[in-house]
Amino acid sequence: MCELLGMSANVPTDIRFSFAGLARRGGGAGPHRDGWGIAFYEGRSARAFHDPEPAASSDIARFVGSHPIKSRTVIAHIRQANRGRVTLANTHPFSRELWGRVWTFAHNGQLRGVKTLRLDFYGPVGTTDSEHAFCWMLDQLRTRFESLPPPPQLDREILQLSTKLARLGVFNMLLSDSRTLYAFCGKRLACLTRRAPFGEATLIDEDRKVNFAEETGPNDCVTVVATGPLTSDESWTAIKPGTLLALREGQVAATLFIEPPGGEKPARAKRTVPC
């Protein structure tokens, strides 16, 4: 299984600390040695780095880890290949344009039969089931909305699409249009919100510690989502399977889920709930 890392913040924020913990698992402390990628949003667009080499030994990963690229929204991924060869084309996160915005997507899990879902506009470059799922989601959004819909309407639609894909297997996902970072838990995801008073944090997989009080302002708010906790001395919250979080400006703006599981009733939402 691959591992995911996402961040939403209300001010441009340096993610090097969390990325160092994720990268260490990419062929170092973990088996995810089949490539990695990271995307940093700047307005509606995104700056991305990809490498089919293990993150723990990648020169590009070291470059990213040594430069304070600050962003309000970040998506990162380390890959353990199950479907598709180890190539640059198969490294996440994947990106496409929709409604004048760059959408970015990363996925953890396997989706049986996903390639039977018809694609009308977007097509995959690589051979992973993940990229096919991403293209299908954007196809569906493009068909249903002529322009960018209001956040609550888009939140509900992405929940419906994520729930359908989750029925095909394991679907842990990060998705963003720069305005919102979506995190859908199909099996395993955890999240953490950092806000004042900030304290120290220590990475689980690397001998590295940071005092966020020295790096942040009193009004900063940052939410991090990962496959599993990255630090040993912070309170991470497990996200319930079947739940979609919509993160905006560093906090959980909406928590959505369908009841009962597998049903087709409208999504319920709780808003502005800390992770």
Q: Which residues are identified as catalytic?
A: 2
Question: From the CB of residue 189, how many other CB atoms can be counted at a distance below 10 Å?
Answer: 25
Token pair 């039977």 is found at 116
Continuous segment of H or E residues that includes residue 65:
helix 59-66
- Please, are residues 259 and 268 in contact by the beta-carbon 8 Å criterion? yes
**CA gap 247, 194 in Å, rounded:** 13
Strands 101-108, 172-176: pairing is antiparallel
- Please, are residues 172 and 184 in contact by the beta-carbon 8 Å criterion? yes
Residue 154 neighbours by CB under 8 Å, 6+ apart: 141, 145, 148, 180
61-78 per-residue burial string, b: 16 or more CB within 10 A, e: under 16: beebbeeebebbbbbbbb
Continuous segment of H or E residues that includes residue 160:
helix 151-166
**CA gap 255, 155 in Å, rounded:** 9
Residue 68 neighbours by CB under 8 Å, 6+ apart: 14, 16
**CA gap 104, 197 in Å, rounded:** 32
**CA gap 96, 122 in Å, rounded:** 8
Tally the residues of the chain: 275
